[in-house]
Amino acid sequence: MSPMSVPKSSAVVLRAHRTDLTQRPSSLLQVAPVELPPLNEGQVRVENTFQQIIAATGDLMLEQPRLPIPPFRIGEPIFGPAIGRVVESRAADRPVGTTVLHMSGWREHSTLGAAETFPVPDGAFPGPEYLLNQGVPAYHGIVDIAVVGTDDTVLVSGAAGGVGSMAAQIAKARGAARVIGIAGGADKCRFLVEEVGLDAAIDYKSENLDDRLTELAPDGISVFFDTVGGAQFEAAIRHAAPGARFALCGVLAGQIGGGDGGFPRLDIMTALVNEIQIRPFSTRHTPEQVQAWNSHYASWHAEGRITFAHTVLKGPLERAITAQDELFAGVHRGNLIVKLTGSST
Ligand SMILES: NC(=O)c1ccc[n+]([C@@H]2O[C@H](COP(=O)([O-])OP(=O)(O)OC[C@H]3O[C@@H](n4cnc5c(N)ncnc54)[C@H](OP(=O)(O)O)[C@@H]3O)[C@@H](O)[C@H]2O)c1
């Protein structure tokens, strides 16, 4: 595609901030036409092919999201992880045709500095979308924060989600004695045991957490990787073994749907008697954190020690907006990705 023939393009734009956590993202986002500026030296134009859908997008729709990332602005395109192909280049190290991963997704075409793009290696995975995973925070939480080892009984909440499915598998790959996932629904629990390889799964929607944890971890859990908060955090405290490490990653029960998951009641006496170490963490995606995950991902995948649990939906940009609603509703399993097909203009 020559610089003169780049077509009119589209982007997903924030119409208004999220003021009520029960609002569906689709009520605040819309696809709008955008102008594509001429490239400056060192820039590339990327035609996006895969858009990753993550929970943090909902946080960034708030006026003051409290994340270590700038929030979305009203009337401007939103952003997030995507993969595409360079279709125009003024950077010698990113020639036309290069497949790249970048953070300026949610648009048909992204215009960005070559240094903000990461070439996707050929052949390391079945498809480039395998790079749209949440392994970096999962690895950081399991390895650096919880320091999972072979003696551990690990409990992971949100285990059928993007971060949780990776965290549970990383714990297995580190040789944890037992990994138990919590997810919503019998299908997701079956998926976690039969396809993702967890030792057991608890359906928090239909099963009693205390009964199941007593049954599955009679000596208590030694690690809790929590993406949910709320009642699941409280149950994990009740079933923690002495010296248990809690890696607090997210509060889906509060971020999605407006529950009070971010404010669980902490039984301090139980926590102090058992000397539970509660460690919230916020992954900065430092080069060291990214490298630590990347140094394992391809080899563990090739050896069959982890799978990339994911769902790929297909459609134009509008499909990414409805997919964000579906992520919140828990409709899909694993990482959620939209394969962008055709133009939405
Ligand atoms: N600390 C860090 O550095 C860091 C970095 C990245 C992400 N995160 C956090 O990690 C968490 C997971 O992110 P993700 O993008 O991978 O999202 P995700 O887990 O794929 O989120 C979607 C899932 O959330 C679950 N869910 C929805 N409402 C829920 C509720 N009320 N209670 C419990 N579960 C609910 C649903 O699973 P079920 O059907 O099983 O309920 C749904 O499938 C988020 O909290 C995110 O902010 C933290």
Evaluate: CB of 133 within 6 angstroms of ligand 1.
no
pLDDT of residue 344: 46
Helices (H) and strands (E) in the chain, counts: 10, 15
Q: What b/e sequence results for 263-273 when a residue is b if at least 16 CB atoms lie within 10 Å of its CB, and e otherwise?
A: ebeeeeeebee
CB of 116 within 8 A of CB of 102? yes
Decide if 103 is inside a domain: yes
Q: Which residues contact 182 (CB under 8 A, 6 or more apart)?
A: 155, 156, 157, 158, 159, 201, 202, 204, 209, 228, 232
> Do 115 and 151 fall into the same domain?
no
Decide if 114 is inside a domain: yes
What is the dihedral angle through the alpha carbons of 151, 310, 181, 197, rounded to the nearest 10 degrees?
A: -50
- Residue 230 in tokens: 């709320």
Evaluate: CB of 330 within 6 angstroms of ligand 1.
yes
Q: How far is the CA of 219 from the centre of ligand 1 (A)?
A: 27
> Do 211 and 190 fall into the same domain?
yes
Long-range contacts from 117-122, C-beta under 8 angstroms, 24+ separation = 117/44, 117/46, 117/86, 119/94, 120/83
β-bridge pairing 82-89 and 99-102: antiparallel
Q: How far is the CA of 160 from the centre of ligand 1 (A)?
A: 9
CATH code of the domain covering residue 275: 3.40.50.720
Q: How far is the CA of 295 from the centre of ligand 1 (A)?
A: 25
Return d(Cα 330, Cα 256) in angstroms, integer. 10
Return d(Cα 11, Cα 30) in angstroms, integer. 8
What's the predicted TM-score (pTM) here?
0.96
> Do 52 and 140 fall into the same domain?
no
Q: Which residues contact 206 (CB under 8 A, 6 or more apart)?
A: 185, 186
Return d(Cα 112, Cα 116) in angstroms, integer. 7
Return d(Cα 32, Cα 11) in angstroms, integer. 6
pLDDT of residue 21: 86
Decide if 254 is inside a domain: yes
Evaluate: CB of 257 within 6 angstroms of ligand 1.
yes
- E strands along the chain, which residues? 9-14, 29-34, 43-53, 82-89, 99-102, 109-113, 118-119, 153-156, 178-183, 200-203, 221-226, 240-248, 277-280, 310-315, 335-340
Return d(Cα 246, Cα 233) in angstroms, integer. 9
Domain stop point among 234, 261, 280: 280
Domain stop point among 232, 260, 280: 280
Domain that holds residue 251: 135-280
**What is the distance of C-alpha 40 from the center of its chain?**
32
> Do 32 and 86 fall into the same domain?
yes
CA distances from 262 to 199, 233, 237 (A): 28, 10, 15
> Do 115 and 72 fall into the same domain?
yes
CB of 88 within 8 A of CB of 6? yes
- Residue 72 in tokens: 């979305």
Evaluate: CB of 262 within 6 angstroms of ligand 1.
no
> Do 224 and 269 fall into the same domain?
yes
Q: How far is the CA of 215 from the centre of ligand 1 (A)?
A: 25
Which of 103, 234, 252 gets mutated to test ligand 1 (max ligand atoms within 8 A of its CB)?
252
> Do 226 and 241 fall into the same domain?
yes
Return d(Cα 69, Cα 86) in angstroms, integer. 25
Decide if 99 is inside a domain: yes
Domain stop point among 235, 260, 280: 280
Decide if 290 is inside a domain: no
Decide if 286 is inside a domain: no
Which atom from ligand 1 is nearest to the alpha carbon of 248?
1
User: Residues 61-94: pLDDT tens digits?
Assistant: 999 988 888 889 999 999 999 999 999 999 999 9
> Do 13 and 122 fall into the same domain?
yes
Q: Which residues contact 343 (CB under 8 A, 6 or more apart)?
A: 7, 10, 108, 316
> Do 336 and 230 fall into the same domain?
no
Per-residue pLDDT of the chain (345 residues; tens, 9 = 90+): 444 554 689 999 999 999 988 899 999 999 999 999 999 999 999 999 999 999 999 999 999 988 888 889 999 999 999 999 999 999 999 999 999 999 999 999 999 999 999 999 888 899 999 999 999 999 999 999 999 999 999 999 999 999 999 999 999 999 999 999 999 999 999 999 999 999 999 999 999 999 999 999 999 999 999 999 999 999 999 999 999 999 999 999 999 877 788 999 999 999 999 999 999 999 999 999 999 999 999 999 999 999 999 999 999 999 999 999 999 999 999 999 999 997 544
What is the dihedral angle through the alpha carbons of 97, 101, 332, 24, rounded to the nearest 10 degrees?
A: -110
Atom 45 in ligand 1: which residue has the minimum CA distance? Answer: 250
Return d(Cα 321, Cα 27) in angstroms, integer. 9
> Do 118 and 150 fall into the same domain?
no
Evaluate: CB of 52 within 6 angstroms of ligand 1.
no
Decide if 293 is inside a domain: no
CATH code of the domain covering residue 94: 3.90.180.10
> Do 314 and 265 fall into the same domain?
no
> Do 115 and 182 fall into the same domain?
no
Q: How far is the CA of 265 from the centre of ligand 1 (A)?
A: 20
CA distances from 337 to 181, 215, 236 (A): 22, 35, 30
Q: What's the DSSP call for residue 37?
A: P
Decide if 3 is inside a domain: no
Q: Count up the domains in the chain and report the number.
A: 2
Atom 9 in ligand 1: which residue has the minimum CA distance? Answer: 250
